[in-house]
Amino acid sequence: MRISASFSLSLSVSAGRRALTKARLRQDLLSWTSKYRRSQLKDMLFPPFGWSQSLTAPLGHGSRVGRIRVRRFAGPAAYAGAMEPIRIAHLTDQHVGRITPFAIQRQAVALTNAERPDLVVITGDFVCHSQSYLDQLTELVRAFRAPVIGVLGNHDHWAGADEVAAALRRGGVEVLRNDSTIITIRRQRLQIVGLDDAYTGHARIDKAVAGLRRDLPVLALSHIAEEADDLWKCGIPLVLAGHTHGGQITVARLNDIALGKIGGHKYVHGLYGTRQPHRGAVVTGAVYVGAGIGASVMPFRIGEHGKREITIFEFGRRPGEFEEPGREQEPLSGRALSARKMRRRAEKVIRRRTRRSLRQTVEMDSV
């Protein structure tokens, strides 16, 4: 009987400790959530970001807000003369959130629509740190007047890939996650291959190119440009990418130093490789890295390569047929990622997902 009583007492103490620990955890999370919300409110109301989500700010045709430039390039040489010209608008790294003024986001859409593209493609990082602006994201992408196809970036996975993808689909975007699709434009079929984010370890090229047809023109989308090296081997002559923001601070080649020598990127901003068909054993292709529209940390951009941009690609027109704003560049030396770094990036996605789940649980319990 003593053993039974002692055992019952031990169980009671253990249960009490667990309940106390759970209560403290809940209180800590509630406190953290409250502080987080106050911080968000402060960011919304006070400089420098108090103006960033002015959804009703007027935007006239002569507005210079954001100073977004439009760059224009021909498509792969192999498709010149083989198809009626198709105009594809490329945007990337919108980062809809409190860092980038919503007026700039709206201006990017307006400038894109003014180019009258046949297709709009967006290569990831739709959000900025959280899911707080998913409704604005849906509103934004719904305003494009052409079909929109997109892939996810690392910020989308950090914030919640499924939730971001759902918001995009509500706005009419076709989201490709290691998949491909065929779109018909002017009675011509074009294949689009879309990789999930390679930065966080979600890209699967073999899955994305499964079923790819050799008799149709093809374009690939990837948030990380370095995936182009393997996509070219699959017969894809042009890859559009983002992620780098062009470096944002690009005076004195600081972008090449920070992103290339320090960050290990081969492709920082602009057009790399060649759009001419490859000959011999060496597989070649081209990749374009866009400077993007938004920002996730610093709200400003300095230097030529850091300017916000929309890029137009004219498929069916030959390189050299019209003047282009930049030449095809040689890649930087780059550096392969270690297994440890890739593991840490993947763990970051899991940690953030767990944190969101805990926060949601606490919020539900407190209702």
- Given this model, what pLDDT does residue 355 score? 86
Instruction: Give kind and range of the element (H or E) at residue 112.
Output: helix 102-114
Residue 264 is predicted with a pLDDT of: 73
CB 75 within 8 A of CB 315: yes
Distance CA 110, CA 143 (A): 8
What pLDDT was estimated at residue 26?
52
pLDDT of residue 233: 94
**pLDDT confidence of residue 54:** 37
Rounded Cα distance between 159 and 351, Å, is: 11
251, 225, 242: which is closest to 311 by C-alpha? 242
pLDDT of the residue at 21: 52
Taking the alpha carbons at both ends of the chain, their separation in whole angstroms is 44
- Residue spans of beta strands (DSSP E) within the chain: 69-74, 86-91, 119-123, 148-151, 173-175, 179-185, 188-194, 218-221, 238-241, 270-273, 286-289, 309-315
Residues of the chain with pLDDT under 70: 1-66, 250-262, 280-281, 360-367
- Residue 336 confidence (pLDDT): 83
Which pLDDT score is estimated for 87?
Answer: 98
Output the CA torsion sign for 274, 276, 280, 283: positive
pLDDT tens-digit series, residues 159-193: 999 999 999 999 999 999 999 999 999 999 999 99
